[in-house]
Chains A and B, each alone.
Chain A
Amino acid sequence: MKLSIWTYEGPPHVGAMRVATGMTGLHYVLHAPQGDTYADLLFTMIERRNHRPPVTYTTFQARDLGADTANLFKEACHEAYARFKPEALIVGASCTAELIQDDPGGLAESMGLPVPVIPLELPSYQRKENFGASETFFQLTRRLARDMNKTPEVSCNVLGPTGLGYRHRDDVTEIVGLIEAMGITVNLVAPMGASPTDLTRLGQAHFNVMLYPEIAEETCRWLDRNHDQPYTKTVPIGVGATRDFIAEVEALSGMKAADPGDRLRLPWYAASVDSTYLTGKRVFLFGDATHVKAAARIAKDEMAFEVVGLGCYNREFARDIRRLAKDYGVAPLITEDYLEVEAAIKAAQPEMILGTQMERHIGKRLGIPCAVISAPVHVQDYPARYSPQMGWEGANVIFDTWVHPLVMGLEEHLLHMFREDFEFHDAAGPSHHGGHAPRGVDEPQVVIPDPVADGNIIWLADAEKELRKVPFFVRGKARKNTEAFAVQQGLTSISVDTLYEAKAHYAR
C-alpha cells in the first residue's frame, strides 16, 4: 500500500484512452465500474474536447459479480461496434475488472467481429498512464503496420502525440512545420490524428521522429528493427536540443534546415541586460523525465540558472535521470510520492520550481514561484493561443513562461532597498501577480518534515529576525547557505554574525 494525496500519473487504461481519443476511427471497450467514467471529463473538461472519448465502459455493478460480467462485456462490444462502426477495437480491463479476470481480450476475439480486435494487457497494480499509452500505441502498431515500400521522396513519421498531452497539439504543428521546411514529407503523425487504416502505412516512411519517448520509444524501437526505420533520439525542447535534433534529422534525411533567423528570440532575450538578474537563480526541476532532461539543459545553458535539484516520477526513465543528476552534481529524486517531492523542495530551498501542477501546489505552500514544464497539468495549461514547447517558437515560449513567475529585474533591487516599506514588503509577492501573496492565508495545520539536515542547529532569535529582512525570493538560499556554513564550521547555533560570515563565505 502506498499513501498518495495527488498522483502524477493516472492508471494505465487512461493512457490507452489518450491514444484512442487522439486517434480517429478507433474504439475502446473497457471493462470497468461506473465510477471509472470520470476519465471522460479529463478530455471534455480539462482539454475542452467537443467529443466524448471513443470509449464504452461496461459499468458492471456488485450484483453482476459472479453472475454475468463476461456477458455484459460481450454485449458492450456488440453495441459499441454496431453504434460506432470503428475500423478497429481495442479492449481491456481497468483495475477492478483485472481482479475479476474475465479476459476481455479472449472474449472479444471469440466474437468474430469484422474488424481487428486488439487486446490490451495493462497491469493496473504495477504500471501507470505513460506505460498504458506506450503499450497501446505499440500493440496497435505491431498489429496494423504492414510491410511496404518506402516512399520515393524522403519522408518520416512523427510519433508520440496523444490526446491530453502537454502541448502536444502545438508541438506537432511546430515540428511538422520545421520538418516540411527542410523539404521532407511527413508520412504520418501518430497516434494523434491517425486512424487504424493510416497505421497500416507507417512503414512507408524513411525514418521516424520520436517526439515523446514516454509514449513512442517502444514503438520506434520496434519499427527500427522490423521496418528498417531509424529514429531521432533528441527531443527538440530548448535551443541547443532543437539544434541537435535538426542535426539528427539532417543526417537521417540528407536534407538541410535553414537558420531560424529572428524567429528564435530566446538567445537575445537571455543575453539582454534585463535578464542579468536571472543569473544563478536556484531552480528545482521535477516532472516527466523527458521534460526534466530538456529543462535542465535550458536552465543551465540557456538561462544561466543553477540547478539545485531534479527528478522525475516515471521510473521507466530513472536511469536517464540518475545520469543527468550526476552531470549536474545533484541527487536524483525518483519518486511518485508527492510528499517526498515536497520535502525535497523544502530542503533545497530553490528560488523557483520548474514542475507540474503538483509542484505549483507545493510552491504555493512554500512561497516559491513555480512554472509548469511537464504533465500532469490543469485546464489553464491547455491555452487557446499557440504555445508549443518544442522547436524555435517553443524556446521563446519557455523563456516567457519561466520568467513570468519571478520578481522582475528592477523590482528585485527595489525590494532590497525598501524592504521595510509597508506596501512594498516581501509578503506581497511579485507585484505583477495581483492578489497572490506567496503564502496561503488559512493554511491547514500540516507537519512537513523539517529540512535542516542536522537537526541540532538552532537559529538564535536575533539571527532569525535578521533573516526575515532578507527578501523572500532569496531568503531560502540565505537560510540554506547559512545552515550549511554552520555545519561546516561545527557550530550548533546561528547568530547574526554567523549569518553574515556565511554571506561573506558564499559571496561571488
Chain B
Amino acid sequence: MNRETPISTGCLNAPVLKQRGQHEVFCGLTGIIWLHRKMQDAFFLVVGSRTCAHLLQSAAGVMIFAEPRFATAILEEKDLAGLADAQDELDAQVSQLLQRRPDIRQLFLVGSCPSEVIKLDLSRAAERLSEVHAPNVRVYSYSGSGIETTFTQGEDACLAAMVPTLPPSEAHQLLLVGALPDVVEDQLTGMIEAMGIKVACLPARRSGDMPTIGSQTRLAVAQPFLGDTVSALTGRGAGLIPAPFPFGEQGTTAWLRAIADAFDVTDETFDAITAAPRARARKALDKVSETLRGKSIFFFPDSQLEVPLARFLTTECGMIPVEVGTPYLHRGLVGPDLALIPEGPLISEGQDVEKQLDRCRAARPDLTVCGLGLANPLEADGLATKWSIELVFSPVHGYEQAADLAGLFARPFLRKAALQL
C-alpha cells in the first residue's frame, strides 16, 4: 500500500441500513472460548443460567476433550429470591474452584443476562474476592450478557475491565491491543521490536506480564471490536494509532506503517524489516486469491471483523462484496478500512435475520459468511458458506497468515470443485 491519501472515500460515507429485528448472533460469553486459551493462568466464571453453561459448551464443542478454564455458577431458584445469599454463594463457588485449580492467578467473574436482570453486583464481589485471595489471585468482573454484548464484544468488555489495574508508566512504548494467537503475536511484536519500538500486549499471556500504560503509550489495535477497551486506554492517556487492520499484505503494511510513523521509524528501517515478508505474502496471496477473483460475497453480521475482511477480500483478492453486515459499526476503528472498500456494497448494521436471508437468497452470492446456525441451511439451498467463527479461532493476522486467511474463503470453492457427487 502506498502512503498517498486515497482519492475516493470508498464506503466511508455510504448510507447504512440499520436493522432492528431478530439477531442471530452469539452473546459476549462466547469470547471466553478463545480468551481462556490465550491467558494461561486465567479462569472465567460465568454467573448465569443453565442456558449460559449450555451456550459455552456448545460453542466450545470442538475442544470438549481439554479441561477448560471456564465454568458457570448456575443460578438457582433460591439465588433469585434473596441477593445477600447470592454473594455468599459466589464466595463458596470461588473457593471451591480455586482449590481445584491452584494454578489460577486471574479470575474473571462474567455477568450474564440473568445476573444483570436480577442486578447481582459482580464488581462488588470481585473487589471483595480480590482482597480475600490476594496476592495469589486477582479477581475482575465484566459483562458478557446477550442483552448488552454481541459475540466479540465479550473480549472488549474483558480487556476493558483489566485497564484500570494496569500500572502507570511514562515510557514511550507501543501497546498491542487484542487477543491474538501466540504465533501471530510473536511475528508482529518481532517486527515492531526490530524497528526499535518497545512493545507490550493486552491481554498478556500470564498475569505477571501485565503491560503498563501512560500518556507516552501508543495503541496499535489488532481487532476491530475493541471500542470500549480503546476508550478506557485513551482515558488513561494513551493515544490511538488509526490504521486499517492487519489483514493481508496491504492491511498489515498499512498497519505497521502507521506504527512506524508514530515512532519516527525511517523508511529504510521499515523497508528492511518488511520487504521480505511482504514479498512472501504477496506471492502466496496471488496464488490463493485466483480462486476468489471476481466472486461475490455476502456478510451476515457476526464478529465485527466484517468490514476489515471485506476490505481485504476486495482490495487484495478481487472479490465483489454484495452486503457487508456487521453487528455494530464502530467508525472510529473501522473507518480506515471502510474508506478503502470501493463504493457498491450495502453496508448494514444490526440484524433482522429473516429479511437478511431474503436479501441473501435473492442476491445468490458466490460465498456467504455467516454463523453456525445459518451455514448448513444455506448450503442446502445451494449457497456456499464460510462459518465466521473460524475467523476468530484461527491465526489470520499479519503477513505470514495472509494466504491462510484467503485460503479460509477459498476452501469452500475448492471443496465444491473437488466433490464429484
Chain A residue at minimum C-beta to C-beta distance from B28: A35
Contact of B146 among A34, A124, A128, A447 (CB under 8 A): A34
B28 contacts across to A, CB distance below 8 A: 35
Interface residues of B in 51-80 (CB under 8 A from A): 51-55, 57-59, 61, 64-77, 79-80
Docked-complex contact B96 and A3, CB < 8 angstroms: yes
A-contact bits for B267-300, CB 8 A (1 contact / 0 none): 0000000000000000000000000000000000
Counting contact residues on chain B (CB < 8 A from A), the size range is: 35 or more
Q: B232 to chain A: closest CB distance in Å?
A: 20
Please tell me if B50 contacts chain A, counting CB pairs below 8 Å. Answer: yes
Docked-complex contact A34 and B376, CB < 8 angstroms: no
Docked-complex contact A124 and B100, CB < 8 angstroms: no
Docked-complex contact A35 and B55, CB < 8 angstroms: yes
B190 contacts across to A, CB distance below 8 A: none
Q: How many residues of A contact B (CB 8 A)?
A: 64
Docked-complex contact A37 and B25, CB < 8 angstroms: yes
Please tell me if B23 contacts chain A, counting CB pairs below 8 Å. Answer: yes
Given A35-B146, A62-B147, A2 and B377 touching (CB < 8 A)?
Answer: no
B-contact bits for A22-47, CB 8 A (1 contact / 0 none): 00000000000111111111101110
Contact of B376 among A38, A50, A440, A446 (CB under 8 A): A50
Docked-complex contact A65 and B147, CB < 8 angstroms: yes
Q: Bound state CA distance, A128 and B118, in angstroms?
A: 21
A51 contacts across to B, CB distance below 8 A: 377, 380
Docked-complex contact A1 and B90, CB < 8 angstroms: yes
Docked-complex contact A50 and B77, CB < 8 angstroms: no
Q: Bound state CA distance, A1 and B48, in angstroms?
A: 9
Please tell me if A290 contacts chain B, counting CB pairs below 8 Å. Answer: no
A11 contacts across to B, CB distance below 8 A: 49-51, 54
Please tell me if B258 contacts chain A, counting CB pairs below 8 Å. Answer: no
Docked-complex contact A10 and B99, CB < 8 angstroms: no
Docked-complex contact B50 and A50, CB < 8 angstroms: no
Contact of B102 among A10, A95, A447 (CB under 8 A): A447
Docked-complex contact A56 and B22, CB < 8 angstroms: yes
Docked-complex contact A41 and B58, CB < 8 angstroms: yes
Contact of A36 among B64, B92, B146, B380 (CB under 8 A): B146
Q: Bound state CA distance, A4 and B377, in angstroms?
A: 32
Q: Bound state CA distance, A42 and B376, in angstroms?
A: 11
Given A48-B376, A52-B377, A38 and B49 touching (CB < 8 A)?
Answer: no
Please tell me if B219 contacts chain A, counting CB pairs below 8 Å. Answer: no
Please tell me if A357 contacts chain B, counting CB pairs below 8 Å. Answer: yes
Given A38-B373, A60-B147, A10 and B23 touching (CB < 8 A)?
Answer: no
Please tell me if A96 contacts chain B, counting CB pairs below 8 Å. Answer: yes
Chain B residue at minimum C-beta to C-beta distance from A99: B117
Q: A1 to chain B: closest CB distance in Å?
A: 4
Q: Bound state CA distance, A132 and B23, in angstroms?
A: 24
Docked-complex contact B100 and A44, CB < 8 angstroms: no
Docked-complex contact A444 and B77, CB < 8 angstroms: no
Chain A residue at minimum C-beta to C-beta distance from B148: A62
A504 contacts across to B, CB distance below 8 A: none
In this complex, which of B49, B116, B371 has the most chain A Cβ atoms within 10 angstroms of its Cβ?
B49
Please tell me if B101 contacts chain A, counting CB pairs below 8 Å. Answer: yes
Docked-complex contact B147 and A446, CB < 8 angstroms: no
Chain A residue at minimum C-beta to C-beta distance from B354: A83
Q: Bound state CA distance, A13 and B54, in angstroms?
A: 12
In this complex, which of B26, B54, B76, B93 has the most chain A Cβ atoms within 10 angstroms of its Cβ?
B54
Q: A7 to chain B: closest CB distance in Å?
A: 5
Docked-complex contact A4 and B72, CB < 8 angstroms: yes
Please tell me if B114 contacts chain A, counting CB pairs below 8 Å. Answer: yes
Given A33-B113, A444-B67, A79 and B76 touching (CB < 8 A)?
Answer: no
A-contact bits for B106-121, CB 8 A (1 contact / 0 none): 0000000110111000
Docked-complex contact A65 and B50, CB < 8 angstroms: no
In this complex, which of A7, A35, A62 has the most chain B Cβ atoms within 10 angstroms of its Cβ?
A35
Ordered by A's residue number, 11 sampled pairs between the chains whose C-beta atoms are within 8 Å are A1-B75, A5-B71, A9-B50, A10-B54, A38-B59, A40-B24, A41-B371, A42-B58, A45-B372, A95-B51, A126-B77
B residues contacting A by CB (< 8 A) are: 21-30, 47, 49-55, 57-59, 61, 64-77, 79-80, 86, 89-90, 92-93, 96-97, 99-103, 113-114, 116-118, 145-148, 150, 354, 371-377, 379-380
A residues contacting B by CB (< 8 A) are: 1-7, 9-11, 13-14, 33-42, 44-46, 48-52, 56-62, 65, 76, 79, 83, 94-96, 99-100, 124-126, 128, 339, 357, 360-361, 364-365, 378-379, 440, 443-447
Contacts A37-B22, A96-B146 supplied; 10 other A-B pairs, CB < 8 Å:
A10-B51, A34-B146, A35-B30, A37-B373, A38-B59, A48-B376, A51-B377, A79-B354, A95-B113, A125-B77
